[in-house]
Amino acid sequence: MSTINFIRHGIVSVLALGLSAATHVHAANVVVSPSNLGDWAFYATDSSGVIGTGSGTGDLVNGPATPPLGSGSAHLQTGAGEGDGSVQLRNDAFAGTRLDALTELKYSTYATSWNGQQLPYLTLWLDTNNDTVRDDRLWFEPAFSEAGAGNGNPNPQPNVALNTWQQWDVLDGMVYNDNGPSGPGSNAITFSDYLTANPDATILNDAGQSIGGIRIATGFASAGDNFDTNVDAFIIGTGAGSTTYNFEAVAIPEPASIVLLGLAAGSFFVVRRRRRN
């Protein structure tokens, strides 16, 4: 093979390898930045829950402290005197995913101000009878998966705390739903118990407001409560694979893009050495 053809072959091979790696990594670890929110959107509401009616803040920031992934996180802060409203993140990419297909559902939180126990919580809009209409909503609130929540949780998770990052495992936690008979606090049930009662439950988007059916929210408490919270490392997985969302204040290269650049640089270094020989 001539030197020129060898160079061309090497560069093409490197680029192909890098692009293959980029595709794989992008599916596993997605960076959400201000210029590329992707599957996510921020909304603020007043106590009515109607999007666009509140004065809270939803944005991407650096910190606080050391987030689980990267250097940033999603920031959710209710407006002054509007703790009965909300600030929320919505994801619209998993409509049609059955709950019994989930293998992972986790996220991490941080709070600098709250009402004493309420961290950002997760809500899923659900179709339970295959009619593509919302029949129920499933709620996970971290405080109700503590050992002291009084609901017989077989797998207690950490006690909620201020000023620290904590990860929550929804599939291993306690939940409640709109239609009962479960409820908040001592009336919460295991995720598996909800599945037993609703074997066909499937995520769907919030058709009422044309937004995503996966919601992470802070607020909806008392007007005088002040919520200043953060979320990072949202993980959702099925048998087809898991996606981890990394919230960042600035766009950063995907890991495979860095690998690609390094491999390409390495290939040119090899070429230079061979020319010297």
What does the pLDDT look like over 50-94, one tens digit per residue? 999 999 999 999 999 999 999 999 999 999 999 999 999 999 999
Cα–Cα distance list, 138 to 56, 184, 215 (Å):
24, 11, 10
pLDDT recorded at residue 27: 54
Q: What is the pTM of this model?
A: 0.83
Q: Which residue has the tokens 């074997």?
A: 199
Domain shared by 152 and 271, yes or no:
no
pLDDT recorded at residue 157: 98
Domain shared by 153 and 42, yes or no:
yes
pLDDT recorded at residue 237: 98
Domain shared by 260 and 244, yes or no:
no
CA-CA distance, 229 to 42, in Å (whole number)? 14
Domain shared by 227 and 272, yes or no:
no
pLDDT digits (tens, 9 = 90+) for 8-54: 344 334 333 343 334 333 358 999 999 999 999 999 999 999 999 99
Domain shared by 219 and 264, yes or no:
no
Domain shared by 6 and 75, yes or no:
no
The answer to whether residue 214 scores a pLDDT higher than 60 is yes
Range of the domain at 266: 1-28+252-277
The residues near 120 (Cβ < 8 Å, ≥ 6 apart) are: 76, 107, 109, 111, 216, 217, 218, 229, 230, 231
The residues near 99 (Cβ < 8 Å, ≥ 6 apart) are: 124, 126, 138, 194, 195, 198, 201, 202, 203
pLDDT digits (tens, 9 = 90+) for 147-179: 999 999 999 999 999 999 999 999 999 999 999
Kindly report the CATH number assigned to the domain that includes residue 133. Answer: 2.60.120
Domain shared by 222 and 91, yes or no:
yes
pLDDT recorded at residue 176: 98
Residue of 124, 183, 174, 171 lying closest to 144 (CA atoms): 174
Domain shared by 12 and 130, yes or no:
no
The answer to whether residue 191 scores a pLDDT higher than 90 is yes
Provide the number of structural domains found in the chain.
Answer: 2
CA-CA distance, 166 to 161, in Å (whole number)? 8
Domain shared by 243 and 270, yes or no:
no
The answer to whether residue 257 scores a pLDDT higher than 60 is no
Least confident among 94-108, 170-184, 198-212, 261-275: 261-275
Please give the structure tokens belonging to residue 113.
């101000």
The answer to whether residue 270 scores a pLDDT higher than 60 is no
Domain shared by 178 and 258, yes or no:
no
Domain shared by 97 and 4, yes or no:
no
Domain shared by 12 and 92, yes or no:
no
